[in-house]
Amino acid sequence: MLIYRNSISFGFGVLISLNCLLAHSHPQPKSATKEEEPATLETVEVEGRATDLIGSTASASQGVVGQPEFKFRPLARVGELLEVVPGMLATQHSGSGKANQYFLRGFNLDHGTDFAVFLDGVPMNNPTHAHGQGYLDLNSIIPELMDKIEYGKGPYYADVGNFASAGYARMHTMHKLDKGFVKFTGGSYDYYRLVAAHSNRIGDGVLLYGGEATFYDGRWQQPEDTKKFNGMLRYTIDNDQWGLSINGKAYHNTWNATNQIPLLAVNSGEFNTYGTGDPSDGGLSNRYSLSGNFWSRGDGWKNEFNAYGVYSDLDLYSNFTGYLDYPELGDQLNQREQRWVGGVTGEQTWFNHWFGFDLDNSLGFLVRYDGIGGLALNRSVNRQTFNPVTRYNVDETQGAVYARSQIHWLEKFRTIAGLRGDFFNYNVDSVLQPWNSGNRYSGIFSPKLSLIAGPWADTEFFLNLGYGYHSNDARGATLRFDPLTGDPVSSVTPLVRSRGAEIGMRSQYVQGLNTTLAVWWLQMDSELVFVGDAGTTEPTGKSERYGVEWTNYYKPLNWLTLDADFAFSAANYTGVPYYENRVPNSVRRVITAGAVADLTNGFFGTARVRHFGDVPLNESNTYNAGDTTLVSMGTGWQNEAFKLELEAFNLLGSQRYDIAYNYNYRTKSDVYQGINPEGVNGVIMHPVEPLMFRMTAMVKF
């Protein structure tokens, strides 16, 4: 369900950037030898979060996680890959084929509005999407082929722009496999998954290929009947001075959906906990992409260039309010689109030595075009349209340029300053209501600044400042009249500003322990928000968020790894009384912890706990989702040719909420009895999935 909180504020100078900066150690003068050139993450072996990042990040909230951490991590769904970002939650209020609902730093990110994700250089967030601004669907990823994830939180990085106020993640797939494999998983509630992958040297490079098929019904009264298929091809040449990769990916998924239902109806027995309000909810989605990456480097410089093309479509059916608007037919919505995306990005970095100071100077650019056809909102019953509400064709073009400079002023003090400019052009064709067509142009500049001191005793200190933003739905930027009532409405601001600040620390003083601590603040301006589920706009207030995060990754023994992350935040509207200033669905407490034992005799075990709580569902906090705690465990045995694993999810059998909302809902029983024509206001919830077991066998060759 779409719950938008677009707000932001014009602010002050701001932080740095590092994604490519995550790629550099101490900069070298132009005359440096090849052996003295700065190290990059592309050439560093990533050992999970144990990787030494002292001297290579711009903030305490940046990090990198590699395959060594993924391979023992129990994953009930693909979106949980992002939970390696400390403080991040990936939940679900619908079927497995839909994008997850994400939460970070006091944001209900909906399906991706303020967290940007890139896969092998291809942006995964979709602007002006049928279901949600910045819609972020990760179902096209095969976790076994993920090499590493680089992440950063806050609006402090010049090389990321749209949808990155809360943060970003750059996901990278593997270049090659040491051995091919075939992996089969079977589990509770008709879960079946088959994955196979291999790589071979061809010419000067390596071709990696893999595929996945997943089938799942789930505990739900209406079986999900998920049928998901993924395929991937990657050809990579990686030389000392240059390299390239060509990536092709394909994804297809169909599913039934069990959306959130009213808690009062569950308590009265009208609904089963795992019941559905509309058994015809569900959808179909496809995504096909082709991308290329080229990089080169020499004495005192490096560059990178990416180009990509993507086709995707979505046909989604959802009923969130039961029989509130249409008592006879039900309130099912159909949202659909077909999208073509093309884009290029590039960055050039020079390593200089000016006036006695070492510098890294970078220039980068971005061009992206989204051609969106058949962008429709319909009223439907049993997946049959009975009332077309809106239909659009949209051309959206984005351009961006940025500059970033890192200067080592002293041996233990450096700064990173950046400036980014983003420019958008919206061309909107409203087919059913031509008066809502139009063209809008908008631009925004975002300065960044980071101050980094240290290391002393393997400890660095950071001060980060930065402006950020996210784009609004192009339909809302040209809207003049409500498509249902015909009443005049105000259009939304095309680009919405944010500003943030952070003080942080990263330390490796204790042997085997990587720990970071960050205290952060973020403000968003008030605005009008386009609501895709309704086809119109609604206002939200100015908001302010702040919090503290403490992350720990500890390897006390060669065979034992421990991690524990704590994130506490507050999200409030400003300028309103304290008793009605909560931002709905802002998760204020997230605690995750895990342990992995990788024994020398081939046996291994893992355990994870995920806790989140204090989730206000309305501004007055009279409705609150409370706490949810989930425990997962896994154990198995492996050698060079074989792996056998048993995983248990929700080991304690929690029946708490995966996600919950507060709004009016009317059930079919209310209609039959002729009661509650305005619906009943209360908690509308989607439960976590029950205790599940999954057994996996993998053969390597």
Whether the pLDDT of residue 42 is over 80: the answer is no
Whether the pLDDT of residue 38 is over 90: the answer is no
Ramachandran region, residue 325 (left: φ > 0; alpha: ψ -120 to 50; beta: rest)? alpha
The token duo for 538 is 């609604």
Q: Which residues of 356-376 are buried (b: 16+ CB within 10 A; e: fewer)?
A: eebbbbbebebebbbbbbebb
Query: pLDDT confidence of 20, banded at 50, 70, 90?
Result: very low
Q: How far is CA 628 from the centre of its chain?
A: 21
Q: DSSP character for 412? A: T
Q: In this predicted structure, what is the pLDDT of residue 5?
A: 33
Q: Quote the CA–CA distance of 667 and 270 in Å, as a whole number.
A: 9
* Domain regions of the chain by residue span: 21-565+652-690
Return the number of other C-beta atoms located less than 10 Å from residue 61's C-beta.
26
Q: In this predicted structure, what is the pLDDT of residue 67?
A: 83
- Predicted confidence (pLDDT) per residue in 24-36, tens digit: 333 333 333 333 3
Query: In sequence order, what E strands does 599-688 have?
Result: 603-613, 628-638, 642-649, 657-665, 680-687
The token duo for 6 is 């677009």
The token duo for 229 is 């298929």
- What is the greatest pairwise CA distance in the chain? 84
Query: pLDDT confidence of 173, banded at 50, 70, 90?
Result: very high
Q: Which residue has the tokens 């308590």?
A: 267
Instruction: Identify which of 377, 351, 141, 339 has the alpha carbon closest to the alpha carbon of residue 251.
Output: 141
Q: How far is CA 482 from the centre of its chain?
A: 31
Q: Which residue has the tokens 């979505």?
A: 314
- Predicted confidence (pLDDT) per residue in 71-93, tens digit: 888 999 999 999 999 999 999 88
Residue type, 473: D
- Predicted confidence (pLDDT) per residue in 179-225, tens digit: 999 999 999 999 999 999 999 999 999 999 999 999 999 999 999 99
CA-CA distances (angstroms) from residue 319 to 121, 284, 330, 582?
35, 16, 8, 26
Q: In this predicted structure, what is the pLDDT of residue 527?
A: 66
Q: In this predicted structure, what is the pLDDT of residue 111?
A: 78
Contact 630, 607 (CB under 8 A): no
Q: In this predicted structure, what is the pLDDT of residue 49?
A: 62
Q: DSSP character for 491? A: P
Instruction: Reduce the DSSP state of residue 264 to 3 states and report it.
Output: helix
DSSP 461-473: EEEEEEEEEEEPP
Q: Which CATH number fits domain 21-565+652-690: 1.20.58.710, 3.40.50.800, 3.30.70.120, 2.40.170.20?
A: 2.40.170.20
Q: Quote the CA–CA distance of 2 and 64 in Å, as a whole number.
A: 30
